[in-house]
Amino acid sequence: MGSPHWKRLCLLLLAGLTSSLLLYSHYHATVEAPTSQRIIASLLQPGPLVLAPSGTPQGASSRSWALGGSLESGNSFKPSAELEEPEPSRKQPSPCLHSVMARAKADPKFREIFRFNTPVLMWDQHFTLETWNRLKTRHVPYGWQGLSLTVVGSTLQLLNASANRHLFDRAAFSGGCVRCAVVGNGGILNGSRQGKAIDSHHLVFRLNGAVIKGFEEDVGTKVSFYGFTVNTMKNSLISYEEYGFTQVPQGKDLRYIFIPSDIRDYLMLKSAIQGSPVPEGSDKGDNPQKYFGLEASAEKFKLLHPDFLQYLTARFLRSELLNTQFSSLYMPSTGALMLLTALHTCDQVSAYGFITANYEQFSDHYYEVEKKPLVFYANHDMMLEAALWRSLHRAGIITLYQR
């Protein structure tokens, strides 16, 4: 064998050895890596990331859906019996004997409606390839159709604290039943003197234009959770400024519940955790710290799961509006979503400031000086919600404040 042939053979052997080492390194870095990390890496790799329908702009607002669309089309909106859980919901055990769950299971009607194993919140471990492929076929708030994969994925990765997995830590309450009050903004609370009763609960939920100053005797002062969409929060700050709602509630122990109704919610949530201005979209340049405070770590934020929102709409508030030209606009009100969230996490729930049978006797909101009639919008079904609250109250599942 001549010298040139021998050199070529050595070079070929060296090249083969190098290739083998590279292949082994790639295998070790991918196949042997944790499954969740590999899925996230594959989802966020460079390439076409926005899986929007043809003609749909990135980050299109849920308010701009074409009239006449239907949540029933295709696989976009199925009854809850068809829902797939991203992973089994890990409910914290409750020692409460007379809980919402116990009362619901004892009721012949509601035991067929409630599914307490439906995940309420979404966090980082839910962002898998399977979940993305499933939810990208559904409209917001029931899924991620038309949303940016990068925005959704990078936002959920930040919800990686144990506090993001449950609404509250049951261990913080010494036995017994965790009692929650959900305070709507209905005019029925004006002159109600329910402030002390509301504050006597372990946890208090408030939402949207929650004016407290000047109405402490009627609505109390405690705020454990503030629930909203970015749209309702900003609209409330504008619409109710004259009544004193000039700032979103803030506090060390207060937690924020995001309702993901649009790409805006994911973008705002991500920027809030990172402590940076919103990088894009209709809220570009906005500073989340002015809403949620200077020290708003990931632990302060909760994100409702799109599966949970679909389950609530399909089983509790399946409105006839879904059969009209306004079907694509419909979703339960913020108050309804907060009350139903409490019903799936707390042991005992009291509802204040919600629509009742005699709603016409009261103003739209408790802080209005002059009486204003309740306004009904096409995107909510307030009468259906009112009927649900009465039914839950009669079943002993909630305590609905009425006068």
Average pLDDT for 212-219: 97
Query: For residues 159 and 124, is the Cβ–Cβ distance under 8 A?
Result: yes
User: 34: pLDDT confidence band, cut at 50, 70 and 90?
Assistant: very low
Summarize pLDDT for 274-290 with one digit per residue, the tens.
999 999 999 999 999 99
pLDDT of residue 104: 96
pLDDT at residue 196 greater than cutoff 80: yes
Mean model confidence pLDDT for the chain: 82
- Reply yes or no on whether the pLDDT at 303 is more than 50: yes
Pick the CATH number of 100-400 from 3.30.1490.190, 3.90.1480.20, 1.10.150.50, 3.40.1010.10: 3.90.1480.20
Q: Residue 1: which residues within 8 A CB-CB, separation 6 or more?
A: none
User: Is the pLDDT confidence value at 134 over 50?
Assistant: yes
Provide the pLDDT for residue 344.
97
Q: How confident is the model at residue 180 (pLDDT cuts 50, 70, 90)?
A: very high
Q: Which two tokens stand for residue 139?
A: 């409209």
Q: Does 79 score more than 50 pLDDT? A: no
According to the model, what pLDDT value does residue 93 have?
66
Supply the pLDDT for residue 89.
54
Q: E strands of 157-283, at which residues? A: 179-183, 203-207, 225-228, 255-258
Long-range pairs, 157-161, Cβ under 8 A, ≥24? 157/40, 157/124, 157/127, 158/124, 158/269, 158/270, 158/273, 158/274, 158/298, 159/122, 159/123, 159/124, 159/273, 159/298, 159/301, 159/303, 160/123, 160/124, 160/298, 161/297, 161/298, 161/299
The sign of the torsion formed by the CA atoms of 117, 257, 146, 280 equals negative
352's enclosing H/E stretch is strand 348-352
Nearest to residue 59, comparing CAs of 285, 284, 308?
Answer: 284
Question: Can you give the pLDDT at residue 73?
Answer: 33
Q: How far apart are CA 162 and CA 322, in angstroms?
A: 37
Of the chain, the percentage scoring pLDDT greater than 90 comes to 66
Q: Report domain extents, the chain.
A: 100-400
377 half-sphere exposure, CB direction, 13 A CA radius: 9
For the chain, what is the radius of gyration of the CA atoms? Answer: 25
In this structure, are residues 306 and 142 in contact, taking their beta carbons and an 8 Å threshold?
yes
Lowest mean per-residue pLDDT among 26-30, 156-160, 222-226, 320-324: 26-30
Work out the angle at residue 360's Cα, subtended by the Cα atoms of residues 354 and 362, and round it to the nearest 5 degrees. Answer: 65
Question: Peptide bond before 141: cis, by omega within 30 degrees of 0?
Answer: yes
The average pLDDT across 196-206 equals 98
Task: Note the pLDDT of residue 91.
Answer: 63
High-pLDDT (> 70) share of the chain, %? 77
Q: Which residues pair with 206 in a beta bridge?
A: 226
Q: Are 258 and 265 in contact (CB under 8 A)?
A: yes
Mean pLDDT, residues 132-150 taken together:
94
What pLDDT was estimated at residue 51?
A: 27
Show Cβ contacts of residue 81 under 8 Å, excluding neighbours closer than 6 positions. none
SS3 204: strand
Question: pLDDT tens for residues 368-399?
Answer: 989 998 888 778 899 999 999 999 999 999 99
Residue that has been written with the tokens 């989340």 in this structure: 288
The pLDDT of residue 320 is: 87
Mean per-residue pLDDT for 339-354? 97
248-263 residue pLDDT tens: 999 999 999 999 999 9
Residue 287 contacts residue 124 (beta carbons within 8 Å): no
Label residue 67 by pLDDT band (50, 70, 90).
very low
- Enter the DSSP assignment of 203: E
pLDDT on residue 92: 64
pLDDT at residue 50, rounded to an integer: 29
pLDDT at residue 173 is higher than 60: yes
Q: What are the pLDDT digits (tens) for 83-125?
A: 444 444 556 667 788 899 999 999 999 999 999 999 999 999 9
